[in-house]
Structure 1
Amino acid sequence: LARNDKYWRTAPALSEVVIRQTKDAVAQAQMLQSGTADIAMQIDPDTAKTMTGSDVKIETVPSYNFIYVALSPGAKANKVPLTPEVREAISLGLDRPSILDFTIGSEGQLISAPIPLGFPGGSGFEAQPYDVAKAKELLAKAGHADGFEMEAAFPGMNVYGVDLSLLMQKVQQDLAKINIKLDLQPIPFANWRERVNGDGIPMTAVFYAPDYYGTSQYVDYFAMTKGSPWARRAGAVRDPSVLNPKEADIYKAALAASGDEAAKLWHQAGEEMIKDRIILPLISPNLILAYKSDVKGVRYSACCNLPLAELSH
């Protein structure tokens, strides 16, 4: 990325910023310690503990980012209908505290609704239950007492210090306890986008970070309203039952409100999105900033994780 010398604010100190995509946290740590990189953005908590040396700084801050599992009742590859009962069973089969411990431990927190903790309306949701017996009961009522197989394609990448392949292996183990057999398919992000926006993917895992400080973007993106990105990915055209008209009404009212009133309405939208059980948020990892001690201006931002224009040497 080259500096724009006509930028209207304070001119960035660096003439260019080079971004290198790397496979995992260990590779990023090695690049940082060898001097091939100045900043590493996807270091996991365990790798961070191994990084030593006075020339490397490690900072950990709570983030607004989160990782979630998503279901698509309208995906063409579904072997059984993903009815509300089946979706509830899948949610009940996820041992979220164990998933948190397995992936990031104390370096993050659980999240129930697809609204960041700390955003208007994003707090005060109940923890999502883990109940294997009830999940099996719901599946039996839906005619799937013996379980079923399910395709789970997702981006094969490390994000916010979490390896999505390892995360989905844990999800696979959890759902095996309620007789749902996941076929895990880590794929390149570009292929994932094509599939999730095309025929759909029965189950996937992916991540989200805010574009600005405001809750409307989350309802825009995750609510089961006509034309929303995740309504399309959930297959609303093929299965209109996934749509939730209440969310459109709440969204309109929240945009017309302000302050505490708006926050209450955004919270109501979050409750409705939880009930949809299309988006199943799992964890909100802390952001680990690892960088060379001579780099200045490294900070977390709600809009972009790292404001590049503020960096200097």
Structure 2
Amino acid sequence: NGALSDATAVDKDTSENWFLSNSAGSGPFVLESYEPNSELRLKRNDNYWRKAPTIPQVVFRQVKDAVAQAQMLQSGAADIAMQIDAETAKTLEGSNVVVDKVPSYNFVYIALSPGAKANTVKLTPEVREAISIAIDRTSLIDFTVGGAGRAIATPIPLGFPGGDNHEIPAYNPDRAKELLAAAGIGDGFTLKSIYPDMNVYGVDFSLMMQKIQQDLAKVGITVELSPVPFANWREAANGDHIPLTAVFFAPDFFGTSQYVDVFGLSEGSVWAKRAGGATDPSIISTETGKLREQALAAPAEEAEKLWFEAGEQMAKARIIIPMVSPDLILAHSPTVKGVRYSACCNLPLAEITN
């Protein structure tokens, strides 16, 4: 079906359309149907190698608005809601809906692409630092998730090896103005921002980007906001790249190597490409990959220090700039059992019963 696994796959693999309508795996559920930006249906895999799930089908519906999700829970139109924010959760008090709040390993971040075609100025390390410290993270967390989240400094989850105790960049618009003036752009410039039009982990991306737009305007940076469907965002990020964007990330397993793989800016890595490393090779890191290999081979205590150093380097690059690690709010019908948060997949579907 066009799938390739060799070095040419990135350019020549043509299997995506097949995978959008077929399953190829051994998990507890298999794909039944998929409508982009609308609905995903999974059915029980009766050949699952472990005990088969008790529920025959899972239906995911894309509902951007947290209030609408809460209403669906209360009316019985939905059994579980995964994108309820702290303020909306308050409206469920007194109802029969079960609401649990737990710290999460997920995070939302902004990213800068020095190699983006649409850049109007050179996004040097100093300019990237100015952008970072011009954002008031405390008020952003209050504004987006009602304070129900934690500040995060580097793209490694809090609680993962090497993820804790990094210094959170302090809000300092005056220093940001000084850095921009020293770079010769003190009179201001424009940043184009394309981002997914989504609500993820209770964070409405449009609201978050409006807050960032307001903060950056105070130091003379005009941000042009363009919310788009996720597929269009991915095309832009991987095509001409995006000067300023917003994205999200959740772990696939409990381990830090995946974050260094994605965000470490090693040559050929995901964000080295999306940040335009081919155009601006100064962003490429030769160190994070080495730290990753050393950490994977090291005893746990030594590995922790190596992961921390990799996190420091990713933070100092200011290509990936985390904004918030939102608390996860699990809201569900009282008839649904087995709902729990997991580092591997947010919600282990095979454990759910009703």
Q: TM-score, normalised on structure 2? A: 0.87
Query: Structure with the greater relative contact order (CA < 8 A, sep ≥ 6): 1 or 2?
Result: 1
In the aligned structure 2, how far is the partner of 1:2 from the partner of 1:102?
Answer: 38
Aligned to 1:176: 217
Question: CA deviation digits over 1:225-283, x for unaligned, max 9?
Answer: 00110010000011101112121221221121131111110000000001100000010
The secondary structure found in structure 1 opposite 2:126 is: helix
Give 1:132 shift: 1.1
In the aligned structure 2, how far is the partner of 1:40 from the partner of 1:161?
Answer: 10
Contact 2:152 2:323 in 1 (8 A): yes
Aligned to 2:97: 56
Aligned to 2:18: none
2:209 counterpart of 1:143: no
The secondary structure found in structure 2 opposite 1:289 is: strand
The structure 1 residue matched to 2:66, chosen from 25, 29, 49, is 25
Aligned to 2:304: 263
Structure 2 portions without partners, runs of 5+ = 1-41
Give 1:105 shift: 3.0
Letter in 1 for 2:242: I
Give 1:108 shift: 1.1
In the aligned structure 1, how far is the partner of 2:276 from the partner of 2:147?
Answer: 36
Question: CA deviation digits over 1:16-60, x for unaligned, max 9?
Answer: 111111121011111111111100000011111001455310000
1:295-306 matches, cutoff 5 A: 295-306=336-347
The secondary structure found in structure 1 opposite 2:43 is: coil
The secondary structure found in structure 1 opposite 2:60 is: coil
Letter in 2 for 1:190: A
The secondary structure found in structure 2 opposite 1:18 is: strand
2:232 counterpart of 1:191: yes
In the aligned structure 1, how far is the partner of 2:252 from the partner of 2:65?
Answer: 24
Paired-residue identity, %: 63
Distance change >3 Å, CA 133–CA 52, structure 1 → 2: closer
1:57-136 matches, cutoff 5 A: 57-136=98-177
Q: TM-score, normalised on structure 1? A: 0.98
Letter in 2 for 1:106: G
Moved more, 30-39 or 97-106: 97-106
2:264 counterpart of 1:223: yes
In the aligned structure 2, how far is the partner of 1:46 from the partner of 1:101?
Answer: 10
2:288 counterpart of 1:285: no
Contact 2:87 2:146 in 1 (8 A): no
Aligned to 2:47: 6
Aligned to 2:34: none
Aligned to 1:276: 317
Question: CA deviation digits over 1:163-206, x for unaligned, max 9?
Answer: 00000000001101110000011111110000001110000011
Letter in 2 for 1:246: E
In the aligned structure 1, how far is the partner of 2:109 from the partner of 2:95?
Answer: 36
Aligned to 1:208: 249
In the aligned structure 2, how far is the partner of 1:9 from the partner of 1:200?
Answer: 43
2:287 counterpart of 1:246: yes
Letter in 1 for 2:351: E
- Number of residue pairs matched by the alignment: 313
Moved more, 290-299 or 93-102: 93-102
The secondary structure found in structure 2 opposite 1:125 is: coil
Structure 1 portions without partners, runs of 5+ = none
The structure 1 residue matched to 2:194, chosen from 153, 156, 160, is 153
| Dislocated runs of 4+, deviation >3 Å | none
The secondary structure found in structure 1 opposite 2:52 is: coil
Moved more, 22-31 or 265-274: 22-31
2:79 counterpart of 1:38: yes
